[in-house]
Structure 1
Amino acid sequence: MTHHIFQKNILLLALLLLFTAGCKKGFLNTVPDNITTLKDVFTNRSMTEQWLARIYNPMPDMWNQPYSIPWTGQCDEVDYAWVQPGMNSGAITADNANPSYWNSYYQTIRQAAIFLQNADQNKEILAQPGGEQLLKQYKAEARFLRAYYYWLLMRQYGPVVLMGEEPKAPEDDFQIPRSPWDDCVNYVLSEMDKAMPDVPVLHMNPVDPTQPDVTQTGRITKPIILAVKSQILLYSASPLFNGNTEMGNFKNQDGAALFNASFDKEKWKKAADAAKAVIDLNRWELYTVADADPFRAAFLSCRNLFFDGWQKEAIWIRTNSDHVGNWERHCSPRCANGSGWNGIAVTQEMVDIFRTADGKAITDNSSGYTETGFTDAATPYYVSGTSNMYHGREPRFYVDVTFNGSVIPVVPENGQSRVEFFFTGNSGKNGAPRDWPTTGYTARKNIHPNTDFRSGRSFSRPAMMIRLGEIYLNYAEALNEYDPGNPDILKYLNKIRNRGGLPDLVAGASQAEMRKQIHLERQVELMFEGHRYWDVRRWKVANTPDQHQGGQFHGMNIEKGSFLSDPEFHKRIVAFTRAQWDNKFYFYPVPQSEIDRNKKLVQFPGY
C-alpha cells in the first residue's frame, strides 16, 4: 500500500472509515459519536469496542451478487443479465478492475494495526471483571482479522505488500515490494496462530455462562481460525501455488521470484491435517431432514440447509445477510408474485454436471438420460410436459436450478403454476426488455419458497462463510493428493454424496479418477457459494475443455418456443461468448494508481 492512503490527521481517516462503512445488525450496528482524538477512542470502552466492530464490517457476503461479489458471474456458473465484469469481455485493466478491494482492505488492515497499537490504553475495559482477558480477546480478534484481510487480498491479487506490525506514520517509507507467496502465507498463518490462544472456543452469555451468547454470533473463535487456516493451506497446496513453473516471470524488480517453482507434497499433508483438526472438534454435523422418501429427504436437506441448517452446519457465519433478498429477486423468474428480476442465468455447462438420481453422469450410456421427448409425470419439482432432460436428475439439481417447466421457486403470481422460459412464456424473452435469462435457466439455491415480493415477506438468515460440508471436501481433496487410497477420502466424500441423495462411491479408483470426483463434488455441493471462481484457478484447469472459463457457453434457445413442450426451445445453442482464457486472469491487477505511487510494487504479468 502506498502513502496516499495515509493523511497527517490519522483521526480524520478513522472517522471517514467509521462513518462510511456499511452498517450491520447486532454487534456491528453502532457508530462512535463525538470522537476527537485517538486517545478518546482508546480510553473509552464503548468507542474501543465500536472501533473493533468496524474492523469486522468489510467481510464479504457471497450473496451480495451481482454487484459487490461477482465471482459467480466471472466463472462458468452463471451469466449476469445486468452486469458484465471486465474479465468476461477481456476488457479488465489496471484502471478498471472491479471489484477492487486493494485500497479498502488495506485501510481496514491499518485500522486493525491502530487498534493493536492503542487498545492497551483502555483502563475501563481492564477494570471490568475479567477485563484483562477481554482486552486480550479483542486484540486477538483484530490480529486475526488483519491476517484475514491479507488473505483475501492474496487470493485476488497474489503475493501482497506486508505492512508490518505497527501502522506507519505519514513520513515513513512506503516504497515496499510484494513479499513472495510462501512468505505471505507463513505470515498470515503465524498471525492467526498468535490470535488463537486469546479467543474463546465459543462466546458464552455473561449472565448465564452455561449458554452461548447469540449476540456475539460471527465473532472470531478458535474453530473459526482453524477453519480459515484449512482454506488457506488447501489453496497454497494447490497447483497454482505449489510447483507452478509457469509463474517464473513474476518477479520483484530485484529479480526475486514471487512464487516458489518447487513442488512440495508436504503442503498437501498440512492442508489435510488442518481440515481434520476442524472435523475432530466434533462441534457440527451435516444438516439433514428426515422423510420417508429418500429422494425428498435429500432435496429438503440440501434446500433447507440455507434456511435452518446453518444452526448445525455453519462454522463461520455472517449474521443477517442483508443481501439475500436481492439474490432471491435477481434469481426468481418473472412469474413470481410481485415479479422477479429473472437475470442470474445458469449455464448449460453447470446443468450438465448434475447426475441422474442413481448417481450416473448424463454421458453414461446406462444412465437413461435423454434430451428427446417430454414427461407426462408431474412431481413436486416440475409439471407434466417438462423436457425429459430435466426428468430423473439428482436432488441437488432441483435445489440449485430453475428450468422450463419447474415449479416456481417462491410464491407464484396468481394463476401461475410453472416457470416458462420459452420465448412467449411467462418468464421468457418476449415478455420483458431485459428481465430474462440468457441461457433459459436461473439459479435457485438459497431462495426461500415462501418469499413473496408483492407483500414484502422475506425470511432473514445468515450467510455461511464456512460450513462443515466445505471442510469435508477440503479434507478429501488434500488427503487424495497426499495419501491416495486412504479410506478417509471416501468416508468424507460419501458423506456429502449421501446427504445429496447419491450412493457411495466404492474403493479402487485411481488417484486421478478420485480427484475428478472430488472436484465434481465441490462444483455441485458449493455451487453459487463463491468457491468455483477460485477453485478452477488454484487447480490450474481454467483453460481445459471440461472446465473452460472463456469462449462459448451454452443454454436453451430462448429465441424460440410458444408452448411448454416446444422442441424448438429445447435445443442447445451458444448462449453467450466470453473472452478466451488468458493467464493474466489468474489474478486481478493492482490498481494503476498504486503502481504509480509505489515504485517497487510490480504488476501481475499481462496487465
Structure 2
Amino acid sequence: MTLKYKHIRKALAGVVCLLMLTPVGCKKGYFDNIPDNIITIDNIFLNRGQTERWLTGLYSSVPDIWAAPYTYQYTGISDEIEFANWGVGTAPSINNGAITADGSPSNFGAYYEKIRLASIFLENIDNNKEILALPNGAQLIKQYKGEARFMRAYYYWLMMKELGPVVLMPLKSASVEDNFQIPRSSWDECVTFVLSEMAIAKADVPLQNYAVGSSTELDPAQTGRINKLIVSAVESQILLYHASPLFNGNTELGDFKNFDGKQLFNQSFDATRWKKAADASKVAIDMAIANGKDLFKVADDDPFRAAYLSCRNMFWDGWKTEGIWLRSASDENASWERHCSPRSISGGAWNGMGVLQSLVDDFRMKDGSSIFTNSTYNENTYPNTGGVIGIGSKTTTLYVAGTNQMYRNREARFYVDVTFNGSVNPGVAKANTPTENNSRVEFFKTGSSGKDGNARDWPKTGYTARKNIIPNINFNPSVTNDRPAMLIRLAELYLNYAEALNEAEPGHPDILKYLNEIRVRGGIPALTGALSQDEMRKEIRLERRIEFCYEAGMRYFDVRRWKIADKPGSNQGGAMYGMNIDAGTSLSDPAFHVRTVATVRKVWQRKYYFFPYGQNEMDRNKLLVQFPGY
C-alpha cells in the first residue's frame, strides 16, 4: 500500500533527541524516536536519559497527517481525492471492494505496541532515582506519567476511530503467561475508559510547555508534548464522535455482538451526549483563548485577499497562532507537495492527487451562495480577463485570461485548496518553451500537465489538491519549508462546539458566533437570521467539508459518524466525476470542460464504517469478533 513516493523512517534512532522542530532547520523530535532496548528494562529505568528516550518513543506513532500513507489511508477513500495511476497498490482497497481482514489498512498493531510500551513506562518510572534526585524530580515523574497515560489512551482512541469497539488490554505490561483471549469491550466502555485515563493524565501534565524558569514563554524544544490544552482538545473530539449517530443509538448495528451476545453499540439514543460534547468543546476553546490562541488572520486592504492569504499561509505561518496540537516537522510536507503539484513546476512533480468534482462543486461563490443557485455561475464561457485580487502594489493573480467561468468568483478557500485548468502555477514554474506556458496550469489532454505528457503523472479528475503547498515550491533545486503539522487547530474546536450546540440547544447564539468566525475568516459573509436546526446542521457540515478538506482524515470520519456515506452529496461509492482529461487542445477548449466519470468505486456497504481487525489478530484471539461483513 504505497504511493509513488513513501518516506521510510529508520526503525531505530541512535541518539536521544528531545528537540522539536522550530520554524527553520530539520531536527528529529518527540515523534521520531523509538526505544531500542526493551530487554534490560530495569537498567533503562535507572538511567534518566534512557527513560526520557523511552517516553519520547511513545510519540512516534502519532500520525503525520501530511505523510503520503496517511493521506492515502483516508483522503483517497473519501469523496475528496482520487489518485493517479501510480501502479499496483495505489487504489485503496475500500474503493475497489478488495478490503479483507488479511490486508486490513488499520494500524492497530503499531498502536497496541505503543500501548504496551506506555504500560511498561508507567510501571517502572517511579524507580528512577536519578530523576527523583533532581530539584523538580517528583514533579517531572508526575508529568512524564501523565504524558504516557495520555498516549496510551490516545492510541486506543485512534484504534476506535478505525475499528469501532476494540479489545482493551489489562493496565499492565503483558507477559507470556497472560491470557490474551479477550473480547471487544463495548463502544461505551471504550469511551469511558479512554476519557477516564485522559482525565487522570490532564491533572498531571502542565497547562503549557513553558521554558525553564518562565511562566509565559513557551519552550520550542517541547513543541508537541502533551499539556492540558491538548488533552482538552482531544476530549472535545471524542465526545463529539460519541454523541454522533454512528455511535449513539445506532440500531443499524444492532447485530454487532460478542460471542456471548453482549451488544457492542448502544441501541438507545442519549440526547445528553450532545450537551456534554458542547460543554467540553467550550472548555477547550476558553482554555485555548486564555493561553493566546486565535484564528490565524492576515491583514490586507482587500478583504478577499486577506481571506485568501489567511487560509493559504496558515500552514506555514499560522501554526503558532492556531495550532493546538502540533506534530514536529518532517519532510512529509515535501512529499505531499510533490504528489499534488502540477508537472509545470520546476524540477517536475507527480501531479496526481486529483480533487473530485463533488468537492470542487461544494466550494461556494464569493458571496457565499451555492454554484447551483448563483445566476453568474456557468460552465460554458471563457472571459478574456484574468483573476487578480488586491489593491495597489499588493496583488495576487489567481487564474489567467481564458479560464472557464465556473472557476471565477469563487470563495477564497477554493483558490487556496484546488488547482484547476487555468489557475496560476502554485510554485516556481519551469522555463517556458515554444509550446509551453508554465506560469499557468494546463490539465487539458495536450496541456503541460495533461494526460498526453506523461504515462502516469496526471490527475484523473482534471484538478489537483493545492492546500499546504508553499508558493516558492521548487524541485530543482529543491526548495521546501519544513513546518509542524497541526493535528488539531482552533478552527476544529469552533466547529465541534457549533455542531454539538446545534444538536443540544438549537438557536443558541454561540452557534452562529463560532460558525461565522470560520466563515468570515474564509471570506464568506456571516450568516444572519434564524435558521432551523436542520438548516444550521447543513451549514456546519458544509463548513467542515470545506475548512478541513484533505486534513487528518476529517471528511472520512465525518461522513461515517453522521451516517451519510451513502447519501447524495456525500456518497462514498459509485461514480466519481471530474473534467474530461481525454479531451482538449487549448486552455479554453469546451471539450475538456465536461463533467466526466473519472472513476467508479465500489457501492457503499455497511462494513465500510470500520476497518477489519487483521486476520492475524483474529486467529490469535478466539474471543474477538470481526466487524460484520468481513
1:475 and 1:34 map into 2 onto residues whose CA distance is: 43
Residues 59-87 of structure 1: CA distance to partner in whole angstroms, max 9, x if unpaired? 00111124675200010000111311100
2:269 and 2:225 map into 1 onto residues whose CA distance is: 36
Q: How far is 1:514 from its partner?
A: 0.6
Q: How far is 1:377 from its partner?
A: 1.3
SS at match of 1:73: coil
Asked whether 1:382 is paired with 2:399, we answer: yes
Asked whether 1:25 is paired with 2:48, we answer: no
Counterpart of 1:375 in structure 2: which amino acid? P
The equivalent residue for 1:183 is 189
The correspondence for 1:532, drawn from 530, 555, 579, is: 555
The correspondence for 2:540, drawn from 498, 514, 518, is: 518
Residues 499-545 of structure 1: CA distance to partner in whole angstroms, max 9, x if unpaired? 00000111311101110000000000000002000000000000001
Counterpart of 2:421 in structure 1: which amino acid? N
CA distance 1:367–1:113, shift in 2 (3 Å): farther
The equivalent residue for 1:411 is 428
Q: How far is 1:29 from its partner?
A: 5.4
Asked whether 1:291 is paired with 2:294, we answer: no
Q: How far is 1:96 from its partner?
A: 1.2
2:322 and 2:407 map into 1 onto residues whose CA distance is: 29
SS at match of 1:381: strand
The equivalent residue for 2:222 is 216
Q: How far is 1:451 from its partner?
A: 1.2
2:36 and 2:362 map into 1 onto residues whose CA distance is: 53
The equivalent residue for 1:443 is 465
Asked whether 1:74 is paired with 2:77, we answer: yes
Counterpart of 1:372 in structure 2: which amino acid? N
The equivalent residue for 1:106 is 112
Count of residues in correspondence between the two structures: 590
2:123 and 2:237 map into 1 onto residues whose CA distance is: 28
1:125 and 1:26 map into 2 onto residues whose CA distance is: 21
Residues 444-496 of structure 1: CA distance to partner in whole angstroms, max 9, x if unpaired? 00000111110111111110000000110000000001111001000000000
Counterpart of 2:346 in structure 1: which amino acid? N
Counterpart of 1:486 in structure 2: which amino acid? H
Counterpart of 2:401 in structure 1: which amino acid? S
The equivalent residue for 1:53 is 56
Q: How far is 1:576 from its partner?
A: 0.6
CA distance 1:165–1:342, shift in 2 (3 Å): same
Asked if the contact 2:354/2:462 (under 8 Å) is kept, the reply is yes
SS at match of 1:56: coil
1:592 and 1:102 map into 2 onto residues whose CA distance is: 12
Asked whether 1:127 is paired with 2:133, we answer: yes
The correspondence for 1:155, drawn from 158, 161, 182, is: 161
TM-score where L is the length of structure 2: 0.92
Question: After the TM superposition, which of the residue ranges 485-494 and 23-32 deviates more from structure 2?
Answer: 23-32
Asked whether 1:486 is paired with 2:486, we answer: no
Counterpart of 1:448 in structure 2: which amino acid? I
Asked whether 1:97 is paired with 2:104, we answer: yes
SS at match of 2:82: strand
Q: How far is 1:34 from its partner?
A: 7.7
Alignment of 1:132-151 (within 5 A): 132-151=138-157
2:210 and 2:75 map into 1 onto residues whose CA distance is: 36
The equivalent residue for 1:314 is 323
1:299 and 1:17 map into 2 onto residues whose CA distance is: 40
Residues 21-62 of structure 1: CA distance to partner in whole angstroms, max 9, x if unpaired? 999713455566787611111000000000010000000011
Counterpart of 2:464 in structure 1: which amino acid? T
1:20 and 1:106 map into 2 onto residues whose CA distance is: 23
SS at match of 2:58: helix
Asked if the contact 2:31/2:61 (under 8 Å) is kept, the reply is no
SS at match of 1:117: helix
Asked if the contact 2:12/2:33 (under 8 Å) is kept, the reply is no
Counterpart of 1:401 in structure 2: which amino acid? V
SS at match of 2:569: helix
Asked if the contact 1:408/1:417 (under 8 Å) is kept, the reply is yes
SS at match of 1:574: strand
1:411 and 1:360 map into 2 onto residues whose CA distance is: 33
The equivalent residue for 1:272 is 278
Asked if the contact 2:30/2:59 (under 8 Å) is kept, the reply is no
CA distance 1:334–1:17, shift in 2 (3 Å): closer
The equivalent residue for 1:4 is none
Q: How far is 1:169 from its partner?
A: 1.4
TM-score where L is the length of structure 1: 0.95
Asked if the contact 2:356/2:577 (under 8 Å) is kept, the reply is yes
Q: How far is 1:342 from its partner?
A: 0.2
* Percent identity (aligned): 58
1:279 and 1:508 map into 2 onto residues whose CA distance is: 24
SS at match of 2:354: strand
The equivalent residue for 1:6 is none
Counterpart of 1:273 in structure 2: which amino acid? D
SS at match of 2:318: helix
The equivalent residue for 1:12 is none
2:149 and 2:420 map into 1 onto residues whose CA distance is: 46
1:165 and 1:457 map into 2 onto residues whose CA distance is: 46
Counterpart of 1:174 in structure 2: which amino acid? F
SS at match of 1:70: helix
SS at match of 1:554: strand
2:331 and 2:61 map into 1 onto residues whose CA distance is: 13
Q: How far is 1:378 from its partner?
A: 1.0
Residues 216-275 of structure 1: CA distance to partner in whole angstroms, max 9, x if unpaired? 010000000000000000011000000110110000000000000100010000110011
The equivalent residue for 2:174 is 168
1:322 and 1:114 map into 2 onto residues whose CA distance is: 31
Asked if the contact 1:61/1:69 (under 8 Å) is kept, the reply is no
1:490 and 1:114 map into 2 onto residues whose CA distance is: 47
Q: How far is 1:129 from its partner?
A: 1.1
Asked whether 1:300 is paired with 2:303, we answer: no
2:37 and 2:568 map into 1 onto residues whose CA distance is: 59
1:139 and 1:213 map into 2 onto residues whose CA distance is: 20
Question: After the TM superposition, which of the residue ranges 330-339 and 200-209 deviates more from structure 2?
Answer: 200-209
1:104 and 1:242 map into 2 onto residues whose CA distance is: 28
The equivalent residue for 1:496 is 518
2:589 and 2:271 map into 1 onto residues whose CA distance is: 53
CA distance 1:451–1:560, shift in 2 (3 Å): same
The equivalent residue for 1:575 is 598
SS at match of 1:360: coil
The equivalent residue for 1:254 is 260
Residues 538-568 of structure 1: CA distance to partner in whole angstroms, max 9, x if unpaired? 0000000111000001000000000000000
Unaligned runs of 5+ in 1: 1-15
CA distance 1:47–1:422, shift in 2 (3 Å): same
SS at match of 2:599: strand
SS at match of 1:200: coil
2:38 and 2:220 map into 1 onto residues whose CA distance is: 29
Q: How far is 1:168 from its partner?
A: 2.1
Counterpart of 1:550 in structure 2: which amino acid? G
Asked if the contact 1:361/1:367 (under 8 Å) is kept, the reply is no
The correspondence for 1:467, drawn from 472, 481, 489, is: 489
Alignment of 1:82-93 (within 5 A): 82=86, 83-93=90-100
1:38 and 1:441 map into 2 onto residues whose CA distance is: 52
